[in-house]
């Protein structure tokens, strides 16, 4: 297959931990051809297909200059997105306006015959903080509001709370307010911008001390190991980007229960890969834009998450091609 990865600049990859790199490495090892571009390289003009200006790359094993490219800016090769066997959308958050527009361009490419994973509409329909609302049986006490009085009432009920922006990533913008309510008003004003922006508020879960678990689900099936991201140095955040320590461990019975309930449903909607964040027994987020932790799990357990992903991608493309052939043959 010829695969297009839409991602952040290749030169920015930290390949010792980058999940997109792990996907590319496995795809190349299985004989697939790889191209790459950024969302800014996607273009549509009336009368033509959605086009990406790509670099055709080869991974070379060098730990620093890890790829060679047949094209360099500004001489990328223009290619209709529908011409690739599969497109893997791996642009990191935030889910801002430009990400949103990119999903619309990719959805038009789908109308033209492209096969995109994760599906653009599914990316739009499942914002990572708010997607948990569909599964209230698995989440702890949670409030979504822009009203400061709602937040005060929630704090009065639960005493120890976490506040976070809906568009945050890597633990940025997360605050804890304990029973004394110290700085609750100031934190609320910062996050909700005096009522102009919606905030998520959750009851603090003491189980964070054992880690914020990232459970990966591929093709509706949970990876058998999760990565518990354990806060360090008095931090309340377990995110690796915030200094958390990643410890791989087998899924618990509760982890598997959550993954097996959510995974098949979201896979049917076009989410080939998702990352469920679980603290203790409670689901806190559903990550769909560019879930990570492939390499950390592999390094600590030997379970090859990238191989599981590429195999699932191959099966998904085969199914999509089969459906396209059946449709073409149907009178």
Catalytic site positions: 129, 164, 214, 229, 237, 277, 285, 287
Q: Determine the Cα–Cα distance for residues 79 and 60; give it in Å rounded to an integer.
A: 24
CB atoms under 10 Å from CB of 299, counted, come to 12
The contacts of residue 17 (CB under 8 Å, 6+ apart) are: 292, 295, 296
Helices (H), the chain: 19-29, 97-111, 120-125, 148-158, 184-192, 253-268, 294-301, 305-329
Helix axes 148-158, 184-192, angle to 10 degrees: 140
Pairing status of strand 67-69 against strand 86-89 = unpaired
**Residue bearing tokens 């990570």:** 292
- Region for residue 21 given its phi and psi (left: phi exceeds 0; alpha: psi -120 to 50; beta: otherwise): alpha
3-class secondary-structure state, position 245? strand
Q: Which two tokens stand for residue 175?
A: 């605050």
Residue 58: CA count within 13 A, CB half-sphere:
4
Question: How distant, in Å, are the alpha carbons of 86, 99, 101, 252 from that of 48?
Answer: 19, 22, 18, 50
Q: How far, in Å, CA of 140 to CA of 147, rounded? A: 20
């Amino acid at each position: 297959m010829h695969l297009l990865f839409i991602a952040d600049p290749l030169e920015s990859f930290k390949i010792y931990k980058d999940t997109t790199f792990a996907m590319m490495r496995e795809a190349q090892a299985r004989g697939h051809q790889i191209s790459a571009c950024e969302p800014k390289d996607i273009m549509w003009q009336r009368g033509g297909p959605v086009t990406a200006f790509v670099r055709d790359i080869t991974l070379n094993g060098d730990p620093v200059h890890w790829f060679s490219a047949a094209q360099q800016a500004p001489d990328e090769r223009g290619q209709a997105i529908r011409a690739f066997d599969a497109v893997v959308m791996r642009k990191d958050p935030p889910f801002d306006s430009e990400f949103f527009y990119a999903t619309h361009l990719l959805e038009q490419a789908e109308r033209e015959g492209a096969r995109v994973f994760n599906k653009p509409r599914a990316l739009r329909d499942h914002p990572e903080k708010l997607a948990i609302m569909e599964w209230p049986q698995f989440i702890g006490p949670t409030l979504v509001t822009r009203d400061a009085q709602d937040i005060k009432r929630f704090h009065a009920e639960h005493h120890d709370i976490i506040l976070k922006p809906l568009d945050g990533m890597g633990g940025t913008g997360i605050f804890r307010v304990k029973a004394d309510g110290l700085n609750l008003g100031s934190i609320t004003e910062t996050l909700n911008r005096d009522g102009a922006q919606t905030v998520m508020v959750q009851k603090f879960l003491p189980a964070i001390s054992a880690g914020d678990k990232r459970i990966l689900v591929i093709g509706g099936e949970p990876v058998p190991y999760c990565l518990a991201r354990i806060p360090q140095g008095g931090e309340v955040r377990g995110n690796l980007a915030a200094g958390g320590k990643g410890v791989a461990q087998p899924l618990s019975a509760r982890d598997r229960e959550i993954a097996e309930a959510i995974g098949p449903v979201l896979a049917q909607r076009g989410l080939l890969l998702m990352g469920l964040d679980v603290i203790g027994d409670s689901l806190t987020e559903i990550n769909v834009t560019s879930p990570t932790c492939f390499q950390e799990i592999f390094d600590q357990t030997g379970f090859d998450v990238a191989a599981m992903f590429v195999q699932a991608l191959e099966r998904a493309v085969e199914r999509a091609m089969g459906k396209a052939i059946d449709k073409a043959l149907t009178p």
